Copies of this chain bind each other. A is one copy, B any other.
Amino acid sequence: MSNRVTIIDVAAKAGVAISSVSSALNNRPGVSEDTRRRIVAAAKELGFVPSLRGRSLSAKRAFTVGLVVHRDPYVLESDPFFGSFIGGIETVLDPRGYALILQMGSEPVETLDRYRTLAANRRVDGVFISDLGVDDPRVPLVLELGLPAVGVNADPGFPLTAVRQSHVEGIRELVEHLVGLGHTRFAHVTGPHEFIHAGQRLRAWSDALEDAGLPVGEIVEGDFTYDGGVAAANGLLAGRATRDRPTAVMCSNDLSAIGFLGRAGELGLRAPDDLSVAGFDGIELGTYVRPTLTTVATNPRLLGVEAARLLLETIERIDGMAVADVDIEPARLVVRTSTGPAPRPR
């Protein structure tokens, strides 16, 4: 209601030109220490906060970055990734005067349109691209739009700056863990094949098993949901003789592993005695369910922190040079109680 105090008010109060106020408050040279102090005092006294709108127009920047998530509502609901990822982003954005615009598109096309509008009216200075798909259309789009962007967990050769957390070490550790426990019959429940990280996890799993000289075993496609884990358990376990069942199963994420375990229990198969099951993600829920879930724990918060850092760097880059990728520490195996020695053949 009371009209906002502007730079003009500060200039009047300090008895200087508005350009001097601007210079003083932004630590630009060309203003004496004396008047700088006077200006700062006046600004403080008046409670001056520079208008983002004025600054935006002048600087040709929105001081805002965007995240468009495109997921099934349910997957999003129960996915711990975004909460922490966004939390991490925030810790970087906030002190630097940026804010995050979040949009959701259920359909991929819809998502693309969101990016387009975001770019068209310059609502954001840059965007995050998470949940990368194979041949993700958002990549050529942001390139065409000239919109600064950072990819999350991109494959090598990604044409934009990317932040990554390697899956391979942790999954290799998991395989070694299972092999060490004497398992020989493996299975892998993937995520939807259109996401590149589903493929990355499968590949790490297969490679590690091959390197160990063991058969890769069965591979069934899941969908990252609890129900997908249930379905996979039905396919891999139900109505099979003991000797035909895998004894060590990795699910592509924790939620589906928990679903898998639940269904296995109903079928009379208890982990870790009858079979071993591991997930991927490291969600908190995995520490509460029984058996507690062996998993490969990622760090979405740190991923968010680094992604935000990279994006701001890309945006504020004066020259057109690309910003170097960042790899955070790899995801690591966390052994809990859902994995154990391979059952003795009787």
Asked whether A1 is an interface residue with its Cβ less than 8 Å from the other chain, the reply is yes
Stretch at the interface among A99-107, A175-183, A305-313: A99-107
Asked whether A318 is an interface residue with its Cβ less than 8 Å from the other chain, the reply is no
CB closest chain-B residue, reference A63: B123
Copies of this chain, tallied across the complex: 2
Is the pair B288, A262 in contact by a Cβ cutoff of 8 Å? yes
Question: With contacts A53-B62, A102-B86 known, is A78 near B284, CB below 8 A?
Answer: yes
Is the pair A87, B100 in contact by a Cβ cutoff of 8 Å? no
Question: Complex formed: what's the CA distance from A51 to B54 in Å?
Answer: 13
* A72-93 with Cβ < 8 A to chain B: 73-74, 76-78, 80, 82-84, 86-87, 90
> A265 — which chain B residues lie within 8 A by C-beta?
290
Question: With contacts A103-B99, A104-B90, A146-B1 known, is A285 near B78, CB below 8 A?
Answer: yes
* A287-304 with Cβ < 8 A to chain B: 288-290, 301
> A62 — which chain B residues lie within 8 A by C-beta?
52-53
Other-chain contact of A73, B87, B100, B123, B290 (Cβ < 8 Å): B87
Other-chain contact of A104, B57, B73, B86 (Cβ < 8 Å): B86
Most buried by B among A86, A100, A288: A288
> A49 — which chain B residues lie within 8 A by C-beta?
120-121
Is the pair B284, A74 in contact by a Cβ cutoff of 8 Å? yes
Most buried by B among A52, A226, A262: A52
Asked whether A94 is an interface residue with its Cβ less than 8 Å from the other chain, the reply is yes
Question: With contacts A100-B103, A288-B230 known, is A53 near B51, CB below 8 A?
Answer: no
Is the pair A87, B104 in contact by a Cβ cutoff of 8 Å? yes
Is the pair B288, A51 in contact by a Cβ cutoff of 8 Å? no
Q: Give the Cβ gap from A106 to chain B, nearest Cβ, in Å.
A: 8
Q: Can you name 14 A-B pairs with beta carbons within 8 Å?
A: A49-B120, A52-B62, A53-B56, A53-B60, A64-B101, A77-B84, A99-B123, A100-B101, A100-B103, A101-B101, A102-B102, A226-B289, A230-B288, A265-B290
Chain A interface (Cβ within 8 Å of chain B)?
1, 4, 49-54, 56-57, 60, 62, 64, 73-74, 76-78, 80, 82-84, 86-87, 90, 94, 99-104, 106, 114, 118, 120-123, 146, 226-227, 230, 259, 262, 265-266, 283-285, 288-290, 301
Ranked 6 nearest A-B pairs via Cβ: A77-B80, A52-B121, A226-B288, A102-B102, A77-B83, A76-B83
| Additional A-B contacts beyond A4-B122, A230-B288, A262-B290 (12; CB < 8 A) | A49-B120, A51-B122, A52-B123, A53-B62, A77-B83, A78-B78, A78-B283, A82-B83, A87-B106, A90-B104, A99-B118, A262-B289
